[in-house]
Chains A and B, each alone.
Chain A
Amino acid sequence: MTLGAPLFWLAVFFLAPLAIVWAYSFGENDGLVRISLTGTFQNYVRALEPLYLQIFAKSAFIAALTTLLCLVLGFPFAVAVTFAPRRLKVWLLLLVMLPFWTNLLIRTYALIAVLREEGVVNAGLEFLWSAGSALSQGLGFGPLDEFKPLSLLYNNTAVVIGLVYIHLPFMVLPLYAALDRLDRSLLEASLDLGAGHARTWLFIIVPLAAPGILSGSLLTFIPALGAYLTPDLLGGPDSQMIANIIERQFKRANNWPFGAALSFILMYATFIAIALQALASGRRPKETP
């Protein structure tokens, strides 16, 4: 009835496609286009080869690093938003939200233009370098060596920068949601009783924001783990992540069963991350009296 239409849609246009992929992950290529479902596990065994294990490990590492950087960058920002006056708060939140409403492809493209060897970042660095060179000449040390532009694009650094750039709002918003409910008198008490700002942050604000940190980390980690576009456009030949390998199996290598197995491994990894987060946030309230 009311639920019928959405459930029908979900079953036919969501669960069925995934079920087919799941079934294919136990199949093997039979000729050029046919796939026979033989119930083999060889696709999963192949995914355990060092080459692919390495890519999985690398993807997880890049996603974790992205999450950490988002947390480091976003946490003070979220605290600032929390303690800002109301009008300013809206503007600060809009500041992080606005890029988020911009098309992902446009944002990635914008990053390419900034990170290139002749991009804004290198131009700025070159300016500083030449100023430093002039200074050192003026002081009688002779000019510095010629400026060498940093290669910031088409490597792993670029992928991490891009992922942080894209996922920062995913971290800031849950952090803000958690910090906004925080009882300010606790902070005042802490400062009153002689703890400095550093100790107050470390022992009061961070533990109280833990649920926000957990959900923000999950919201950042999961899409970063399955990112396709960022490693594809910003990364170099060695920056492949899981999603790129999956795409290649389906579109170029034409090995659907293996691609299907990789997709489901990524899916299981996602579910494990969600389960871990649920476990962590479920256990937390018991620890704090």
Chain B
Amino acid sequence: MKRLGSVLAWGGISALGAAAFGVLALSRGETVNAAWLLTAALCTYAVGYRFYSRFLATRVFGLDDRRATPAERFNNGRDYVPTDKWVLYGHHFAAIAGAGPLVGPVLAAQFGYLPGTLWLVIGVVVGGAVQDFVILFCSLRRDGKSLGQMAKEEVNPAAGATAMLAVLFIMIILLAVLALIVVNALKASPWGLFTIVCTIPIALLMGWWMKRWRPGKVGEASAMGAVLLAGALVAGGWVAGQPHVAPLFTHSATALTWMMVAYGFIASVLPVWMLLCPRDYLSTFLKITTIVVLAVAILVILPPLRMPALTPFASLGEGPVFAGKLFPFAFITIACGAISGFHSLVASGTTPKMIARESDARLIGYGGMLMESFVGVMAMIAACTLDPGVYFAMNTTPAALAQASQVLGQAGFVVTPDVMRELAARMGETTLLARSGGAPSLAVGMAQIFAGASSALGGKTLDALWYHFAIMFEALFILTTIDTGTRVGRFMLQEIAGHVWPRFGETSWYPSVIASSALVVAGWGYFLYQGVVDPLGGINSLWPLFGISNQLLAAVALCVGTTILIKMGRARYAWVTSAPLAWLVTITMTAGWQKVFSTDPRLGFLAHAASLAGSTSPDVARLIFNDRLNTFVALLFMSVVTILIVTSLREWWLVLSRRKMAVVHEAPYVATGYVVGN
């Protein structure tokens, strides 16, 4: 009877999800409510978690709760701590969720709401969540080792070194593109810049509070920080209205670039307790609160989607936000939310050291990624509730908008200057035109949803306050990622250079700290500057590079996962990781090839460089150099992953053909002490 009830319940959930997908896929021309999108996503997650993750946990990985985890064996009360699975779920989610799942779907909305949503929902169930889960499992069985260490041990030392180099290069592109999003959101925005500048002294104050005055009192410091942050947000509105004060916080994108570079350098050499830790706590609280509030607000107002299911840019490939057709660019534009290689660094970092029992990895690894995908779906909803004309005007440079004007006009995506002026005034900004990067359009979408919910609940709408709250929310955790990313990049550089000059590898030697920080900051700072001065807005070239690099890191992780499954004698299940691996390699190699060799100057770096050859612009030499540099970076990423895949394929062949003994480097089995009465 119980089994019949379960079959009926899951059959009902599956049918509901299928019906929601049907509504989304078959609607053409009529307005679709966001409720269908939410229903399709939630039902797919439920079915995926209940059946597929269980299959992975029991049949593929063979999770064994009788086996002691690293948290139990090495429990030291600090980094190795057995932690309740729901607590660790929140901790892991806070570490994996950043700007990516918010910004990627907003940019991919250029193709309409359907392609991005399908990729978010299906990609996560069969790809992204599997990657997180398999790497968490592998690290859990190896005392919490990192992805690079596992690649070195399980594939070969060259693979380990390749993975490490890949992570370093990816980090540089990632930091550049994230910084570009912040710069585009804060340029000529005194309210936004004032609020973000205020977060620095607030974080310093919190740092002193937690370290010097009241050691470890994170709650007190965070409460104080939150109050001051709210004050800064409100004060920002006043600052923006003062003719003598506002110019102090009104800067061009180029000026903001230099400020970001200086900030990144200082933040990475300061002690972590001073700036990084307090900012991390603030952004974690803000992130979790805002995501919960956004989910509730969407459920309260269930907004209609104004973007069509598919736009003409899906097949034309001439999108004003970024160039390229739906395949492969929708799949690299949305990385976090569907599948993100960066998560493999978290899944082989702190999380495996805190898991109390092996079966918890299912909820934390697989379930945590499903939640991130849900955040991506909410970002897609927020972007698609905007008028398409407004969306394209905000996310495109005037030059690209002019190029796409005919297609935009035919599709009915038009917006008048008056509408944009009125919207900017309502959001407390002077202009919202050409704010590429996704963050400002997401902020407008979120502001409208929050304002809609607060007016539905009887409150005032306060659009401008909500808009700047959303900008602060995004900028705060992007800056946290820049702090941590620059620091981690510095450690990697020191480790690599330490093989040549051991003194340089000492992380406490200050000349090495300064030099390596400067090199990492110079690396991402150059790409940031390149993006800022790019006539097409920077996102067109940098976001695809970031997407390709992030997905290629996911390919590295899936290679390692597949190798370990084969060595464990589970070759018959290797398709769970090799199928998403094959898909990722296909999309990233296709996208990389097109970005380098396409004859369309908007798409191909080399074609763009060639198109500039006869130009008389004073910047032409720099622009051509940038195109060639981007070509080099794209080819480098593709080469690095090709090497790793070839070495992995060789390893698989040797093991499967029994030419080589399969040796897994798992920690020895130790029975758990938690089991009582077994």
Q: Do A and B bind each other?
A: no
